[in-house]
């Protein structure tokens, strides 16, 4: 009987991990990862920035291709590179909240993650003049307490489809672009990274992947929209 109990415990742990971390888990509440639509719409999103010079390089590519994107910024990185976030907002990209420190241990200091959320909201508002209405939790860790905290702060959670470019030693750009291309279907929200937690990291492969991915998807008839447009929700709160 002991082995039955052990198996049951292991399965329960795996199920709980899936419920808390999976991009598609809706166990504890709405956590939109894509939109069901017949329209060929796709949203490019970037986490963990700003991180120079790579965020600016991404903005250059997006500007040339006339593609809007959504940047989920980390507060500690925003403090270092306010000008690039101002540029992103001015060029029509959506600026969203991705916590202050991207530190996992802070989930346990406050189950609702409230301070991490509030501090970043204030920084983004001071930088862009607009208060975000979108939040993506680090590691997509979405507990009932976090989702309740987001509701209290008038924020909508956003998930998506990982391209897995977050490593410090990134895969080659062609591999990232191919992987993203295969995962796109109408209504997809792609998750790329222009930073690494609250630290600097080389993101040249991501920049090159985006440079080649956009024309491929355009050739297939895809239109790029921000995450808020795809989800039919607001990008910013009314101040």
Per-residue pLDDT of the chain (239 residues; tens, 9 = 90+): 777 668 767 888 899 999 999 999 999 999 999 999 999 999 999 999 999 999 999 999 999 999 999 999 999 999 999 999 999 999 999 999 999 999 999 998 888 899 999 999 999 999 999 999 999 999 999 999 999 999 999 999 999 999 999 988 899 999 999 999 999 999 999 999 999 999 999 999 999 999 999 999 999 999 999 999 999 999 999 85
> What domains sit in the chain, N to C, each tagged with a CATH number?
2-237 (3.20.20.370)
Among residues 93, 193, 194, 228, the one annotated as catalytic is 193
Among residues 47, 165, 194, 228, the one annotated as catalytic is 47
Contact 74, 101 (CB under 8 A): yes
Identify which of 99, 68, 100, 95 has the alpha carbon closest to the alpha carbon of residue 84.
95
The verdict on whether 47 is a catalytic residue reads yes
Contact 33, 160 (CB under 8 A): yes
99 — alpha (psi -120 to 50), left (phi > 0) or beta? left
Helix, strand, or coil (residue 204): helix
The verdict on whether 228 is a catalytic residue reads no
- Prediction pTM value: 0.96
């Amino acid at each position: 009987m002991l082995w039955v109990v052990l198996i049951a415990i292991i399965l329960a742990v795996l199920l709980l991990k899936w419920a808390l971390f999976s991009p598609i888990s809706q166990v504890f509440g709405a956590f939109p990862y894509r939109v069901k639509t017949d329209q060929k719409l796709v949203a490019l999103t970037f986490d963990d920035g700003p991180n120079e010079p790579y965020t600016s390089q991404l903005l250059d590519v997006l500007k040339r291709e006339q593609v809007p994107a959504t940047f989920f910024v980390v507060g500690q990185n925003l403090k270092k590179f306010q000008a690039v976030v101002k540029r992103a907002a001015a060029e029509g990209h959506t600026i969203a909240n991705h916590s202050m420190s991207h530190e996992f241990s802070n989930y346990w200091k406050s189950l609702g993650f409230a301070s991490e959320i509030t501090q970043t909201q204030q920084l983004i508002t001071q930088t862009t003049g607009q208060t975000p209405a979108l939040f993506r939790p680090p590691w997509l860790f979405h507990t009932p307490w976090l989702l309740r905290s987001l509701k209290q702060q008038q924020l909508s959670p956003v998930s998506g489809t990982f391209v897995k470019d977050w490593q410090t030693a990134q895969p080659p750009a062609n591999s990232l672009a191919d992987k993203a291309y295969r995962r796109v279907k109408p209504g997809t929200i792609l998750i790329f990274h222009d930073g690494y937690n609250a630290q600097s990291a080389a993101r040249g492969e991501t920049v090159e992947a985006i440079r080649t991915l956009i024309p491929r998807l355009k050739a297939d008839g895809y239109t790029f929209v921000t995450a808020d447009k795809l989800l039919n929700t607001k990008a910013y709160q009314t101040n």
